[in-house]
């Protein structure tokens, strides 16, 4: 049975996948969810023989059956721009397997979806016979911005506008974005944090008057954030792939359960793991790892989501988030598809900054464990894992490992565990080098990349090597109140 999409808030239903991908967000402000989650209906023994691209065709095809040239899209996305022949690597160290998702062109896990999204988008536009130019509007806490820019740069029929918090990303992340040179790319630093950027983008999407104005001038808005179902679905593939890889190498036998640990801010990456679980991967626990902005940990513990707190700037900036947008999809699923409940929660979040789920819904979250790590614990974890196991990881992955260690100590759960490793350590060189005592007094993060590589013997990813020599193209800062005007100005309106 083919899948159709509906809004988490009940305002739209019966939407096919090309339209859901192009729209990005529902007219009522809700997120598109499938009307059912498909099952894996091919034997694992057969799936073990699939390449990553073949597995992606199978899994994604179940969610986007209308995309006519899906194989071509996937083969174009997952090609030799990835440093790994298998696109992702599963590396066993320190008693777990690290699912390295950062071997793409921007050295972060976002590449796994954002290399593909432009192809899905342009294919959908063609199939829908749209006569509008699509404007990709994106807020980023660091990694999505560059991955989206790299994906959509130079893509005919699209423009992309990215907003990032001026003081809320690493030096490497910022340099990756502001050096993107194609004429259809626009990048702005905002005076505020990621939540300000994300809220501003959502307000623009919800502005009916602006939408009509843009439509009159030949434009329509869409998103490259994980609020877009076209961004979320490709992430399911690597969780299925990791389980199959463990079957292939004999680490697990078919039917053995697995834990997935995911460092997450916006809840999209761990939601993809949930979808893999619902499709038939035998998951024991999903472990949600947060930094000191531990709004998700508090929610999973208490059942109350409360963003009424100050955002803390940390050494894991991609998780410096207080409004986790994709949790809305999980609320939909955990409420049994009750759109009215979801709308009530989201309305309260908007008006009061907090909501509490029912006890029944909270019990439905019991398979998700939440924990967090401080900045000091993050650095200590990088140091100890490198010292004990010779494995170097970035700050976000370190949080996941620390939270998993706490989980295992408190539960004695011996289920085999995969940790999503979401970024190269060279994206956060200063923190990583400090953690292992290799700064040598160097304060230039770009120079430090090369010395860290030399001292550890780990190669700098292609997309980061030489980045400091690139020309800065985008150097505009705006206030969060000016974002709508900036969008119009970028389009020459």
Q: Just list the catalytic residues.
A: 110
Nearest to 147 by CA among 77, 56, 89: 77
Q: What end-to-end distance do the CA atoms of the chain give, in Å?
A: 44
Nearest to 295 by CA among 232, 360, 379, 353: 353
Asked if 124 contacts 116 with a C-beta cutoff of 8 angstroms, the reply is no
> How far is the C-alpha of 121 from the C-alpha of 143, rounded, in Å?
20
SS (H, E, C) the chain: CCCCEEECCCCCCCECHHHHHHHCCCCCCCCEEECCCCCCCCCHHHHCCCCHHHHHHHHHHHHCCCCCCHHHHHHHHCCCCCCCCCCCEEEEECCEEEEECCCCCCCECCHHHHCCHHHHHHHHHHHHCCCCEEEEEEECCCHHHHHHHHHHCCCCCEEEEEEEECCCCCHHHHHHHHCCCCCCEEEEEEECCHHHHHHHHHHHHHCHHHHHHHHHCCEEEECCCCCCHHHHHHHHHHHHHHHHHHHHCCCCCCCCCEEEEEECCCCHHHHHHHHHHHHCCCEEEEEEEECCCCHHHHHHHHCEEECCCCCCCCCCHHHCCCCCCCHHHHHHHHCCCCHHHHHHHHHHHHHHCEEECCHHHHHHCCCEEEEECCHHHHHHHHHHHHHHHCCCCCHHHHHHHHHHHHHHHHHCCCCCEEEEECECHHHHHHHHHHHCCCCCCCCCHHHHHHHHHHHHCCCCCCCCCCHHHCCCCCCEEEEHHHHHHHHHHHCCC
> How far is the C-alpha of 22 from the C-alpha of 20, rounded, in Å?
6
């Amino acid at each position: 049975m083919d899948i159709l999409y509906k809004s988490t808030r009940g305002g739209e239903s019966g939407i096919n996948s090309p339209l859901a991908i192009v729209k990005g967000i529902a007219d009522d402000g809700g997120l598109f969810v499938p009307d059912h989650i498909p099952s894996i209906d091919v034997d694992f023994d057969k799936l073990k023989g699939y390449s990553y691209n073949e597995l992606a065709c199978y899994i994604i095809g179940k969610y986007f059956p209308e995309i006519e040239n899906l194989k071509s899209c996937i083969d174009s996305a997952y090609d030799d721009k990835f440093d790994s022949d298998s696109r992702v690597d599963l590396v066993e160290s320190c008693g777990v397997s690290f699912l390295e998702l950062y071997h793409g062109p921007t050295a972060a896990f976002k590449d796994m979806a954002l290399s593909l999204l432009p192809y899905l988008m342009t294919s959908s536009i063609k199939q829908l016979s749209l006569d509008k130019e699509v404007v990709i509007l994106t807020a980023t806490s660091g990694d999505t911005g560059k991955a989206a820019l790299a994906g959509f740069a130079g893509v005919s029929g699209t423009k992309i506008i990215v907003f990032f918090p001026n003081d809320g990303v690493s030096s490497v992340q910022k340099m990756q974005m502001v050096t993107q040179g194609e004429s259809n790319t626009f990048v702005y630093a905002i005076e505020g944090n990621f939540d300000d950027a994300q809220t501003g983008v959502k307000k623009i999407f919800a502005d009916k008057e602006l939408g009509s104005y843009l439509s009159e001038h030949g434009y329509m808005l869409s998103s490259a954030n994980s609020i877009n179902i076209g961004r979320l679905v490709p992430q399911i593939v690597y969780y299925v792939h990791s389980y199959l890889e463990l079957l292939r190498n004999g680490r697990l036998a078919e039917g053995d359960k697995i834990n997935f640990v995911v460092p997450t801010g916006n809840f999209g990456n761990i939601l993809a793991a949930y979808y893999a679980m619902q499709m038939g991967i035998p998951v024991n626990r999903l472990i949600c790892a947060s930094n000191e902005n531990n709004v998700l940990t508090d929610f999973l513990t208490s059942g109350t989501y409360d963003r009424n707190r100050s955002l803390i700037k940390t050494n894991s900036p991609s998780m410096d988030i207080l409004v986790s947008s994709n949790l809305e999809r999980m609320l939909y699923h955990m409420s049994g598809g009750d759109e009215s409940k979801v709308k009530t929660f989201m309305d309260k979040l908007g008006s009061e900054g907090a909501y509490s789920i029912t006890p029944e819904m909270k019990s439905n979250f019991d398979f998700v464990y939440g924990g967090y790590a401080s900045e000091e614990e993050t650095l200590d974890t990088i140091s100890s894992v490198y010292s004990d196991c010779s494995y170097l990881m970035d700050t976000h992955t370190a949080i996941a490992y620390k939270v998993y260690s706490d989980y295992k100590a408190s539960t004695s759960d011996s289920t085999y565990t995969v940790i999503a490793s979401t970024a190269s350590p060279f994206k956060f060189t200063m923190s990583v080098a400090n953690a292992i005592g290799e700064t040598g007094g160097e304060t230039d993060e770009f120079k430090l990349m090369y010395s860290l590589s030399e001292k550890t013997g780990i190669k700098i990813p292609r997309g980061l090597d030489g980045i400091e020599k690139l020309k800065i193209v985008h150097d505009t800062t705006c206030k969060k109140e000016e974002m709508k005007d900036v969008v119009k100005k970028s389009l020459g309106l």
